[in-house]
A and B are shown apart, each in its own frame.
Chain A
Amino acid sequence: MNVKLWLLCVCLLLPETLRAQGYAGLGGSADGFDVPQPGYQFEFPRDHGPHPSFRIEWWYLTANLKGDDGRDYGIQWTLFRSALKPMESEGWQSPQLWMGHAAVTTPDAHYFAERLSRGGIGQAGVTAQPFEAWIDEWHMRGPDPNTLSLAASGDQFEYNLTLNAKTPFVFHGDAGFSVKSTDGQASYYYAQPFYTVKGVLHLPEGDVPVTGQGWLDREWSSQPLAADQSGWDWFSLSFDDGDKLMAFRLRGARGDFTAATWINADGSATPLPDGSVSLAPLKTAHVADRDVPVLWRVTLPDQDLDVEVSALTPNAWMAARFEYWEGPVTITGSHSGRGYLEMTGY
Chain B
Amino acid sequence: MTRAVIQALLSHWRVHRLQLATLLIGIALATGLWSAVQAVNAEARASYERANDQLAFGQYDELRNPSGMIPISRYVDLRRAGWQVAAVLEGSLQIGERRLQVLGVDMVTYPTLPAVTQVEQSATPPNPADMLTAPGRLLAAPSVQKLLRDHPHLPPVLPTDALPPDLILTDIGVAETLLNKPGQISRLIVLPNQPQSVQPLSDIAPELELTRASARIDTAQLTDSFHLNLTAFGLLSFAVGLFIVHGTVGLAFAQRRAMIRTLRALGVSMQQLVWMITIELALLALIGGLLGLVLGFFLAGALLPDVAATLRGLYSAPVDGQITLHPHWALSGLAMALAGTLLASGHALFRLSRMPLLTGAGLQAWRGATSGNRVIPLAGVFLIAGGIVISYLFDGLIFGFAMVAGILTGSALLLPVLLSLVISAFQRWTQSPVAQWVWADMRAQLPGLSLALMALLLALAANIGVGTMVSSFRLTFTGWLDQRLTSEVYVTAPDSELGQEIAQWLTPRVTAVLPIRSAELMHETGPLFLYGVIDDQTYRQKWPLIASTKDDWDRVFAGKAVLINEQLARRSNLWPGDFLTLAPDHTLTIAGVYSDYGNPTGQAIVSMAQLDQIAPGAEARRFGIRVAPDRASELAQDIRDRFELPRHAVVQQATMKAQSLAVFEKTFVVTSALNILTLGVAGFAILTSLLTLWTQRLPQIAPVWALGLTRAQLARLEVLRSVLLATLTAVLALPLGLVLAWALLAVVNVQAFGWRLPMYLFPADWIYLFALTLVAAFVAAALPALRLLRLPPADLLKVFANER
Contacts and interface: CB of A to CB of B under 8 A. Distances in A.
Interface string A11-46: 000000000010000000000000000000000000
B462 to A, nearest CB: 54
A258 interface: no
Contacts of B488: none
A97 B131 CA distance: 13
A94 B84 CA distance: 20
Contacts of B131: 3
B109 A117 contact: yes
Interface stretch (B32-40, B43-51, B69-77): B69-77
B18 interface: no
A123 interface: yes
A143 interface: no
Given A84-B133, A121-B72, A3 B173 contact: no
B196 A158 contact: yes
Contacts of B129: 84-85, 95
Nearest to B134: A93
Contacts of B106: 92, 118
B213 to A, nearest CB: 18
A157 B193 CA distance: 12
A158 B136 CA distance: 37
Interface stretch (A58-66, A148-156, A168-176, A326-334): A148-156
Interface in A209-267: none
A202 interface: yes
B107 interface: yes
Interface string B76-92: 10011110100000000
Nearest to B193: A155
Nearest to A99: B108
Contacts of B75: 121, 123
Contacts of B112: 2, 4
A157 B196 contact: yes
Contacts of A1: 120-121, 125
Contacts of B134: 93
A139 to B, nearest CB: 9
B371 interface: no
B116 interface: yes
B195 A84 contact: no
B108 A136 contact: no
Interface string B93-116: 000000000000011110010001
B128 A6 contact: yes
Interface residues of B, number: 40
A1 B128 CA distance: 9
A21 B120 CA distance: 13
B195 A137 contact: yes
A154 B191 CA distance: 13
Mostly helix, strand, loop or mixed at chain A's interface?
loop
Contact of B133 (A4, A93, A153, A157): A93
A4 B105 CA distance: 14
A136 B108 CA distance: 13
A6 B197 CA distance: 30
Contacts of B80: 122-123, 134, 136-137
A121 B174 CA distance: 15
B596 interface: no
Nearest to A154: B195
B195 A4 contact: no
A92 B109 CA distance: 12
Nearest to A20: B125
Interface string A85-120: 100000111110100000000000000010011100
B183 interface: yes
Given A3-B107, A153-B195, A154-B196, A93 B132 contact: yes
A4 B108 contact: yes
B197 A136 contact: no
A177 B352 CA distance: 100
A7 interface: yes
Given A92-B172, A123-B75, A155 B194 contact: yes
A227 to B, nearest CB: 20
Contacts of B128: 3, 6-7, 84
A4 B116 CA distance: 11
Contacts of A154: 193, 195-196
A118 B105 CA distance: 13
B122 to A, nearest CB: 10
Interface centre among A6, A91, A137, A153 (most CB of B within 10 A): A137
Contacts of A121: 72, 75-76
B549 interface: no
Interface string B533-557: 0000000000000000000000000
Nearest to A1: B120
A217 B194 CA distance: 28
B117 interface: yes
B109 A95 contact: no
Nearest to A120: B173
Chain A interface residue count: which class?
20 to 34
B320 interface: no
Contacts of B132: 3, 84, 93, 95, 97, 118
B566 interface: no
A156 B195 CA distance: 7
Contacts of B107: 3
Contact of B120 (A2, A97, A136, A157): A2
A257 to B, nearest CB: 29
B173 A91 contact: yes
B176 interface: yes
Contacts of A6: 128
Contacts of A118: 106, 108, 132
B175 to A, nearest CB: 9
Interface centre among A1, A4, A85, A118 (most CB of B within 10 A): A118
A158 B133 contact: no
Which one of B117, B172, B182, B195 has the highest number of Cβ atoms from chain A below 10 Å of its Cβ?
Answer: B195
Contact of B195 (A95, A117, A123, A158): A158
A167 B711 CA distance: 124
Given A85-B129, A97-B108, A92 B195 contact: no
B166 interface: no
B183 A153 contact: no
A136 B77 CA distance: 9
A117 B84 CA distance: 11
B171 interface: yes
Contact of A3 (B72, B79, B116, B182): B116
Given A2-B117, A3-B107, A117 B172 contact: no
A92 B171 contact: yes
B197 A158 contact: yes
B109 A116 contact: yes
A155 B108 contact: no
A1 B198 CA distance: 32
A202 to B, nearest CB: 7
Contacts of A113: 193, 195
**Which one of A93, A117, A134, A154 has the greatest number of beta carbons of chain B within 10 Å?**
A93
Interface string B129-144: 1011110100000000
A116 B112 CA distance: 13
B133 A95 contact: yes
Nearest to A157: B196
24 contacts: A1-B121, A2-B116, A3-B107, A3-B120, A6-B128, A84-B129, A84-B133, A92-B106, A92-B171, A93-B173, A94-B133, A95-B129, A117-B79, A118-B132, A122-B72, A123-B75, A123-B76, A123-B79, A134-B80, A136-B79, A136-B80, A137-B198, A154-B196, A155-B193
Pick the 5 closest A-B CB pairs, nearest first.
A92-B173, A84-B129, A153-B195, A137-B82, A93-B173
Given A117-B79, A134-B80, 10 more contacts: A1-B120, A2-B120, A92-B172, A93-B173, A97-B108, A121-B72, A123-B75, A136-B80, A137-B195, A153-B82
Interface of B: 72-73, 75-76, 79-82, 84, 106-109, 112, 116-117, 120-121, 125, 127-129, 131-134, 136, 171-174, 176, 182-183, 193-198
